[in-house]
Chains A and B, each alone.
Chain A
Amino acid sequence: MTKDRSTLRILVLLAVLFVLVFICLKQVRSQYPGEYPKILPEIGGTFSFQADRIEIVLTEQPKSGVVFVFAYDEGNNFLGILKPVTDRKVVLGRGDLADVRAPVKGQEVGEPVFLKRMDRYAEKIDIFEKVVQAHDRGGRYGVQRCLHPVCTKCVDACKTVISSGDLAIVMGVQKGGFILPEFSKGKCPRCGRCFTDCPTGSIERSPGRQH
């Protein structure tokens, strides 16, 4: 009888432990009762090509006050320059040199190289010329509010929550050459960190609905 009682006690203890662990895990899961993120479509812009400048009128004033004006060269490298936006207008002049270059393979963006180094340029690439060339040959160019490959805050935020490496947000190259976050609903724990941390407003909260 004594043996049975002690076995019973052990089983009860295990059951209590199991329930406690179950409750705790449920608590952890319900730490993220937030919404899913919503990836906004890229900011639109009308390009006006002139002899020594390109004037771009955007559809809205970006939250960060800057945009990436980009163009792809023949080697499929993303070349970008960070430009301030004043009253929805951006001016790209002849002689404006690219700030960053990133190789693109398919839909994946490689490691970016910063071309401006304190007082010098590691490589001088006239982004005005590159945009004009892309326009002339029907290549990819445009403006984007998302600051990738410079900014990786959404992906980094996701990494702090999902340790397995199978992230809910990854960066991908879209059809028009824009680099935007891509979101997988099934993997998302709805922690809300990506749209909280995004400095440009490229990701917003989406209450229950997915873009």
Chain B
Amino acid sequence: MDPIGIISILIFFGTLFGSIKGWIPQRVLPIQVALLAAAALIGILAFLSGKEIHASSFVSATTLHPITAVIAGFIFAGALKASGGFDAATDFVRRISRTPLGIPFAVVLLVNLPTIFAMPCGRIWVSPLMPIALMLGYEVAKERGNPTLPALVVFGLVVNAAASCGPSLIGGIGVLGEGMGRYGTGSFSNPQSIAIVVITVVTMALLRFVFAVAGPSEPDHGDDLPQRRAIPEHGYFSFILFVVGLAVTVVIQPPVPIQTILVFLTVVVMIIARLSVADLLDGILLHPLTAMISGFIVAGALVASGGFDVLLAGLDYLALHTPLGYIGVALLLIYLPIVFPMPCGRIIAVSLIPGVLMFGERLAAVLGRPPLQAVLLISFILSAAASCGPSPIGGIGCLGEGNMGLKGYVSGRPQALGIFLGVPVAALVVSFTGLSQSAFTVSFSVISICVSVLCGLATNVLLGFKVYHPGGILGGALVGALLIVF
């Protein structure tokens, strides 16, 4: 094993761990700068050891697609906010929650929306839907007298959005795995979607019964409460445009980049609502973007120094020479992204998928079951996709914590546990139904609706309603049906 590779991996994990644990205080060195420093150190070490290090090593390891998609998503979120789209959406959801189907229906639909219309980065949905999640959460908390319920709704949305880049057919991580492993396009989406619904409800259950995260008793809107000002018509228009635009993009998958579509929608909203460019800036969050960029730079440094090769060689050694064996190491590999969560799952996924494919092939050969490679790959991809939720370094969970005014990385553990328990669902679905490029199969349809209805029932209980409340049941059934259609 290359000693430089070993040192570079240690530097990387040390930086990550140190930042998470607080040994590198964020008020001294925020994680982005710490990662940049680590990348510089790794680069210098590799250069001094005689390896060829060029700027292109870092640049070629950068996946621009999620970064530009998130920028475009944030810009559109800024336009939505300035045009009153958030207020309109909140009003719309409030009206749904006042129907006989009630809050459970609204919650089930809201928290699963990012997976139904899966985007290449979950932040595209989280930004505009966060105020709605907060509103719903505080309403149900007031109704049920339980201050932990806002966290349920908010972090249910967060973990669902985080994982949603897995099944996204518009440049999601699942498609990346399908392409590299030469599986049928879209064949990884179905099992992941079902597992994400389970991950969402398990995370919500953990937040309700185990971690009991309670935020402030009331949201802090300042003077900007939605009910204190009239919602302009163009607010409703821009929100409908947002939902319909993204839904149509997911269905049709036009040969136009999603970034172009989002920018086009932004321009339309700007014209209708007479917004200026300055109005758009409100939606841009620089922290997750810079964290993603730093992560990709470090990934480039690790590729150049041979760090990832060392990681895979290490796993190989563990499989052959320790009691863990291939199965134990396979589990370790699947959950590696959760153990070391990055602000974008692609940072680890792109570098490790070839290793996962190779390992999966060996696992399949050792156990005599060829489908095991696909099972391992899908599980790894889902874990990597979802890992940006609990990531304390610019992950989507930080968005939720910030909006709720929570201190510390309180949502990390429930999300990580939820992902830990939910990922095997994807593995089970693949084992039983196999891979299919179409969602319109009997087996997938039945599983999708049944699992979603069960999750709806669980949501009823979690929100303090009766288990047979029609809101959760119908919400679950609708989610299951929409997962098949979209």
Contacts and interface: CB of A to CB of B under 8 A. Distances in A.
A117 interface: yes
A119 B182 contact: no
Interface string B222-254: 000000000000000000000000000000000
Most buried by B among A117, A119, A122: A119
A120 B376 CA distance: 15
B361 A114 contact: no
A90 to B, nearest CB: 26
Interface in A92-126: 114, 117-120, 122
Contacts of A122: 182
Contacts of A120: 357, 361, 373
Contacts of A117: 181-183
Nearest to A118: B357
Interface residues of B, number: 9
Nearest to A116: B182
Interface string B355-370: 0011001000000000
Contacts of A118: 180-182, 354, 357
Contacts of B183: 117
Contacts of B358: 119
A76 to B, nearest CB: 24
Nearest to B359: A119
Contacts of B181: 117-118
Nearest to B373: A120
Contacts of B373: 120
Query: Interface residues of A toward B: which range?
Result: under 10
Interface string A109-147: 000001001111010000000000000000000000000
Contacts of B354: 118-119
Nearest to B355: A119
A117 B353 CA distance: 13
B357 A114 contact: no
Contacts of B180: 118
Nearest to A121: B361
A118 to B, nearest CB: 5
Interface in A124-175: none
Interface string A38-81: 00000000000000000000000000000000000000000000
B351 to A, nearest CB: 15
A114 B181 CA distance: 12
A184 to B, nearest CB: 31
B438 to A, nearest CB: 16
A108 B333 CA distance: 45
A48 to B, nearest CB: 34
Nearest to A115: B182
A178 B357 CA distance: 35
A188 B182 CA distance: 36
A118 B178 CA distance: 11
A114 B183 CA distance: 10
Interface in B121-153: none
Contacts of A114: 182
Nearest to B365: A120
B354 to A, nearest CB: 7
A70 B361 CA distance: 27
Interface string B332-358: 000000000000000000000010011
A166 to B, nearest CB: 26
A118 B373 CA distance: 12
Contacts of B182: 114, 117-118, 122
Interface string A5-44: 0000000000000000000000000000000000000000
A114 B357 CA distance: 17
B188 to A, nearest CB: 14
Interface in B178-198: 180-183
A119 B362 CA distance: 10
Nearest to A114: B182
B270 to A, nearest CB: 37
A122 B357 CA distance: 13
A189 to B, nearest CB: 26
Interface in B405-441: none
A78 to B, nearest CB: 19
A182 B252 CA distance: 35
Interface in B147-180: 180
A114 B184 CA distance: 11
Nearest to A123: B370
Contacts of A119: 354, 357-358, 361
A122 B373 CA distance: 11
A208 to B, nearest CB: 39
A99 to B, nearest CB: 12
Nearest to A117: B182
A114 B179 CA distance: 13
A36 to B, nearest CB: 33
A122 B182 CA distance: 9
Nearest to B179: A118
Nearest to B358: A119
Contacts of B357: 118-120
A118 B358 CA distance: 9
A120 B183 CA distance: 12
B366 to A, nearest CB: 14
A119 B181 CA distance: 8
A5 to B, nearest CB: 48
The 9 lowest CB-CB distance pairs between A and B, nearest first, are A117-B182, A120-B361, A119-B358, A119-B357, A118-B357, A119-B361, A118-B181, A118-B180, A118-B182
Interface of B: 180-183, 354, 357-358, 361, 373
Interface of A: 114, 117-120, 122
Given A118-B181, A119-B361, 8 more contacts: A118-B180, A118-B182, A118-B357, A119-B354, A119-B357, A119-B358, A120-B373, A122-B182
7 contacts: A114-B182, A117-B183, A118-B180, A118-B182, A118-B357, A119-B354, A119-B357
